[in-house]
A = this chain, B = another copy of it.
Amino acid sequence: MSPVRELGMALPAARCCTPVAEAGLTAEEAGTTARLFKALADPHRIRIVNVLATSGESVCGCDLEEPLGLSQATVSFHLNKLYEAGLLDRDKRGVWVYYSLNREAAARLGDVLRFEGKG
């Protein structure tokens, strides 16, 4: 053991998207945050978010296969990951499913990583 001790990890109620720089993050809150980042921990999913963030309109899933160079099954897999994480909105129009970035969730996500004026 070293000189420095007592780091103090309190146990406030768990809630979504607790900022990483907020004191006393619960193991549960850490799990929630980690799950969120895990959704973005893949190059193809980053590109999907990028396309959705820069495209004014929502995008048909079928139009992502070619630019990403992935099979239909894999694209569906990635879109679902992002959807389950709450980062994407889904809009079924007939045979197609259109995806768009959930701006609110995206904004909240950015707030999780605010560090200024803390510590």
* Contacts from A to B (Cβ < 8 Å): 1-5, 7, 9, 20-25, 27, 30-31, 33-34, 37-38, 40-47, 49-57, 59-60, 62-64, 67, 96, 101, 103, 106-107, 109-110, 113-116, 118-119
Asked if A101 contacts B114 (CB within 8 A), the reply is no
Give how many copies assemble into the complex.
2
Task: Pick the residue among B2, B33, B37, B47 that contacts A30 (CB under 8 A).
Answer: B47
Give chain B residues whose Cβ lies under 8 Å from the Cβ of A20: 46, 49-50, 53
Asked if A110 contacts B114 (CB within 8 A), the reply is yes
State how many angstroms separate the Cβ of A27 from the closest Cβ of chain B: 7
Give chain B residues whose Cβ lies under 8 Å from the Cβ of A43: 27, 30-31, 33-34
